[in-house]
């Protein structure tokens, strides 16, 4: 009984937290699909704090699915070579807001397209409901590996509005693009 009540409270907190996150008005899936580089990352998660100094820029390929969901393939370089992770972002009743399930923990994620101009950059906010405390991840994606100082500042400012302090925000160093995934 206590576990069910606690899970319900965590879900309620997660839902109320993402309700305050702005979503891109008139989000256009067709303009969002394609290749994006992972320029910046910020998170409240402990794994991020332990790994942030080793992280490098990743490549995201976003493809549409028949039901308006998004097939997201992230490829990144590790000390063991290229790795690849796939996620499905299922569209909610609000364009620009998606649900996904963590492939590692099975936790529910709420993914919000906060802001994009489709041609240069996108700011994406994710709340991951795991165990007793939701974690937040904010990504800065770019169509190219380099973004303007204004876009970087916009990303950092949004992260800070979400309560992420400077030590929880990283602009990724460029890395070679992975083309073959070692799974």
The CA distance from 37 to 142, in Å, is 5
| CB proximity list for 30: less than 8 A, separation 6 or greater | 64
Strand partners, 35: 61
Quick one: tokens of 24? 């891109």
Mean pLDDT (whole number) for 177-182: 60
Question: What confidence tier does 183 reach under pLDDT thresholds 50, 70, 90?
Answer: very low
Residue 182 has pLDDT above 70, yes or no: no
Give dist(CA 112, CA 126) in Å, integer. Answer: 6
Choosing from 58, 82, 159, 178, the catalytic residue is 58
φ, ψ of residue 10 in degrees (nearest 5): -65, -45
pLDDT 10s digits, 120-139: 999 999 999 876 678 999 99
CA distance 155 to 141: 10
Ordered alpha helix ranges (H), the chain = 2-19, 29-32, 46-51, 149-161
End-to-end CA distance of the chain: 39
pLDDT of residue 132: 66
pLDDT in tens, 83-110: 899 999 999 999 999 999 987 778 899 9
Q: Is 67 exposed, middle or buried (0-12, 13-18, 19+ CB in 10 A)?
A: exposed
For residue 133, the 8-state DSSP code is S
Pick the closest to residue 173 from 55, 36, 51, 49 (CA basis). 55
**3-state DSSP assignment of residue 62:** strand
What whole-number distance in Å separates Cα of residue 102 and Cα of residue 85?
10
The CA distance from 40 to 13, in Å, is 26
- State pTM to two decimals: 0.85
How many Cβ atoms are within 10 Å of 141's Cβ, its own excluded? 23
178 belongs to the catalytic site: no
């Amino acid at each position: 009984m206590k576990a069910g009540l606690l899970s319900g409270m965590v879900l309620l907190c997660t839902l109320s937290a993402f309700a305050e996150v702005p979503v891109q008005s008139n989000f256009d899936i067709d303009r969002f699909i394609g290749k994006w580089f992972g320029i910046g990352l910020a998170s409240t998660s402990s794994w991020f704090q332990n790994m942030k100094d080793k992280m490098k820029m990743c490549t995201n390929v976003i493809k549409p699915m028949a039901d308006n969901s998004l097939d997201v393939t992230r490829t990144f370089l590790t000390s063991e070579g290229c790795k690849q992770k796939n996620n499905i972002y299922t569209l909610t009743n609000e364009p620009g807001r998606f649900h996904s399930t963590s492939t590692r923990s099975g936790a529910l994620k709420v993914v919000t397209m906060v802001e994009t101009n489709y041609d240069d950059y996108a700011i994406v906010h994710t709340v991951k409901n795991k165990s007793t405390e939701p974690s937040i991840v904010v990504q800065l994606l770019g169509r190219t590996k380099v973004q303007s100082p204004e876009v970087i500042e916009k990303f950092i400012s949004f992260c800070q509005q979400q309560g992420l302090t400077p030590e929880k925000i990283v602009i990724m160093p460029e890395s070679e693009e992975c083309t073959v995934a070692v799974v």
